[in-house]
Amino acid sequence: MPQPLLSVERLQSRIDELAAAVDRDYAGKNLLVVCVLKGSYIFTADLSRRLTVPHEIDFIAVSSYGDSTTSSGKVEVTQDLQHEVEGRHLLIVEDIVETGTTIRFLLDVLRRRRPASIRIISLLKKEGVEEEDLPHVDYVGFTIPPVFVVGYGLDYAERYRHLPYVASLPGADEVERGEP
């Protein structure tokens, strides 16, 4: 069973703060919010509704974990953006950064399209990976212990995305690896 880790109230008040920071940083800029599907759809919706800076939203889907809970290290774009990004200020919205593989891949793909700037916002960041091994994440909602989490967009085999809070799912990693 999922064990609550971040309550609805904590999530929502932190997103108020994140939106205020994004508003300050993007005043007068031509902002394109890039939602990384599927995990960040709820975070993107909540963040976007709090922004007062004008912005457009686009979606990109990448496969990383599949239905597993361990990163394969291989990432590919499974659904691309519809917007031209050349000259745009991009804000990549991620659900969670763990090893940094997904973010590194997205930065690489999107930088080649010559945006005016790229920043990353991630609701969650997992402890346990050396900072120097990670790409810089400009805005982080919460740093969490290295446990498998679900809810608020995050899934385990496509389940639990609808939970309004973030919960840990004890044993999820072991089950996937076939351990007892």
Contacting residue, 43, 59, 139, 148, with ligand 5GP by CB under 6 A: 148
CA distance 177 to 69: 8
Query: What percentage of the chain's residues is helix, strand, coil (to nearest 5)?
Result: 25, 30, 40
Between CA 160 and CA 7 the distance in angstroms is 15
Cα–Cα distance measured from residue 11 to residue 9, given in angstroms and rounded to the nearest whole number: 5
Measured from the CB of residue 106, what is the shortest distance to ligand 5GP in angstroms? 9
68 counts as binding ligand 5GP under rule CB under 6 A: no
Rounded to the nearest whole angstrom, what is the least distance from the CB of residue 85 to Mg ion in the complex?
23
Greatest Cα pair distance in the chain: 55
Minimum distance from CB of 84 to ligand 5GP (Å)? 25
| 59 makes contact with ligand 5GP (CB under 6 A) | no
Closer residue to ligand 5GP (CB): 30 or 78: 78
One of 154, 163, 166, 167 touching ligand 5GP (CB under 6 A): 154
Stretch that binds Mg ion, among 41-49, 65-73, 104-112, 135-143 (CB under 5 A): 65-73
Cα-based angle 106, 39, 138 (whole degrees, multiple of 5) = 50
Beta strands at 76-79 and 55-63: parallel, antiparallel or unpaired = antiparallel
Burial class (CB in 10 A: 0-12, 13-18, 19+), 132: exposed
39 binds Mg ion (CB under 5 A): yes
Our finding on whether 71 is near ligand 5GP (CB under 6 A) is: yes
Q: Which is nearer to ligand 5GP, 100 or 141 (CB)?
A: 100
Contact positions vs Mg ion (CB under 5 A): 39, 65
Contact positions vs ligand 5GP (CB under 6 A): 39, 64-65, 71, 94-102, 148-150, 154-156
